Amino acid sequence: MRDFSANHRWLSINTATVRAQWPLDRIIDECAARGIRAISPWRDQVAAVGLDDVAKRLRSTGIELSGYCRGGMFPASTAEGRQRALDDNRRAVDEAATLNAACLVLVVGGLPGALAGAPEHRDIAAARTDVRDGIAATLEYARSAGMPLAIEPLHPMYAADRACVNTLEHALDLCDALDPERSGALGVAVDLYHVWWDPKLQEQIARAGKERLLAFHVCDWLVPTRDMLNDRGMMGDGIIDIPRIRGWVEAAGFAGYSEVEIFSSENWWRRDGGEVLDACIERHRSSV
Ligand code: ZN
């Protein structure tokens, strides 16, 4: 297992972590000033600054993308809705390619309309069919663009509104069905916040192997967790045995960035952005 204690060579910052403090251009500059070599930005943050400006700034600072957030949200209750989702995913693939991202992260979606508070049906099996079909169609396009797709299984508490793929096993079943040759075009994003509790985690990480492990997202699970979405903890402040799971991921062949992704409306989003990045560096060395 790699030694992270001496430096932060393998730290990446998911830019949602300081989204409340800074726009993306400032985030890139602040990361560069601290020797952080990779980020994973969100589409709305990129759009706010401008895709070409972001690409230029990445080139001039030498910062690379450990991933791009995000595609997905495939389920819809009409054919037009499903087509809209595919069109949007193609744009996401194109943006990710322009920014030379390591992968496009997919948050696959749940029941159509649920995220807006108005679920249009109760058929989660139908939603999962939409997800499978949506990934299959997007995969074809992503292959031609040379952009790997990383399915991110989300904690089951999000099954209704954000993602109806909730375990690493389920995500890998999709990978095996749609990319049986393990080509590297389709894999998973392992986010500890979503999967730490899974009794099959170790065996599924081993099953994923190097070809399927495209991204590794870290934060911590606080006890108590006061908000389902926006109360993620800084590494070391909760109950996830992060080094143990990183050991499993690396034993399976993953050798990429450890991406810090913290949504924290009551704590880290209220602090100075520089303080947050400095804490990410320190905890990356001590607690990842
Ligand atoms: Zn994540």
Q: Tell me, what's the pLDDT at 155?
A: 98
Kindly give the distance from the C-alpha atom of residue 103 to the centroid of ligand 1, in angstroms, as a whole number: 12
List Cβ<8 Å contacts ≥24 apart for 53-60: 53/25, 54/24, 54/25, 54/28, 54/99, 55/98, 55/99, 57/25, 57/28, 57/29, 58/28, 58/99, 58/100
- For residue 82, what pLDDT band results from cuts at 50, 70 and 90? very high
Mean pLDDT over 125-139 rounds to 98
Model confidence band, residue 269 (pLDDT cutoffs 50, 70, 90): very high
Residue 133 Cα to ligand 1 midpoint, Å, equals 22
The total number of structural domains that make up the chain:
1
Q: Which of 8, 85, 19, 62 is nearest to 262 (CA)?
A: 19
Distance in angstroms (rounded) separating the CA atoms of residues 67 and 41: 7
| pLDDT given at position 163 | 98
> pLDDT band at 227, cuts 50/70/90?
very high
Kindly indicate the confidence band of residue 66, based on its pLDDT and cuts at 50, 70 and 90.
very high
- Please report the pLDDT score of residue 223 as a whole number: 98
Predicted pLDDT at 44: 98
Full residue range of the structural domain in which residue 89 is found: 11-287
CATH (domain of 223): 3.20.20.150
Q: Which residues contact 10 (CB under 8 A, 6 or more apart)?
A: 2, 4, 256, 257, 258, 284
Distances (CA, A) of 134 to 43, 74, 88, 194: 19, 6, 11, 22
Average pLDDT value for residue range 55-67: 98
Predicted confidence at residue 172, as pLDDT, reads 99
Distance 7 CA to ligand 1 centre (A): 23
The maximal CA–CA distance of the chain, rounded, in angstroms, is: 53
CA distance 263 to 267: 9
- What percentage of the chain has pLDDT greater than the value 90? 100
CA torsion 148→197→233→70, rounded to 10°? 20
Q: Report how far ligand 1's centroid is from the alpha carbon of 229 (Å).
A: 12
Q: Calculate mean pLDDT across residues 250-275.
A: 98
Beta bridge partners of 187: 150
Mean pLDDT of 68-75: 98
pLDDT at 88: 98
Helix (H) or strand (E) holding 190: strand 186-191
**d(CA 110, ligand 1 centre) in Å:** 16
Report how far ligand 1's centroid is from the alpha carbon of 152 (Å).
Answer: 7
H helices present in the chain, as ranges? 24-33, 43-49, 51-61, 79-98, 124-145, 168-178, 192-195, 201-212, 242-251, 273-287
Whether 6 is in a domain gets the answer no
Is-contact 145 103, C-beta < 8 A? no
Question: Would you state the pLDDT for residue 190?
Answer: 99
Q: What is the mean pLDDT of residues 70-84?
A: 98
pLDDT in tens, 145-162: 999 999 999 999 999 999
Report the distance separating Cα 111 and Cα 3, nearest Å.
42
Q: What is the pTM of this model?
A: 0.98
- What spacing in Å lies between the alpha carbon of 191 and ligand 1's midpoint? 5
Dist. CA 215 → ligand 1 center (Å): 9
Q: Flag whether 3 is in a domain.
A: no
Answer whether residue 1 is part of any domain. Answer: no
Per-residue pLDDT, 58: 98
Query: 235, 220 in Cβ contact below 8 A?
Result: yes
Q: How far is the CA of 217 from the centre of ligand 1 (A)?
A: 5
Among positive and negative, which fits the CA dihedral 185, 191, 194, 196? positive
pLDDT (average), residues 190-203: 98
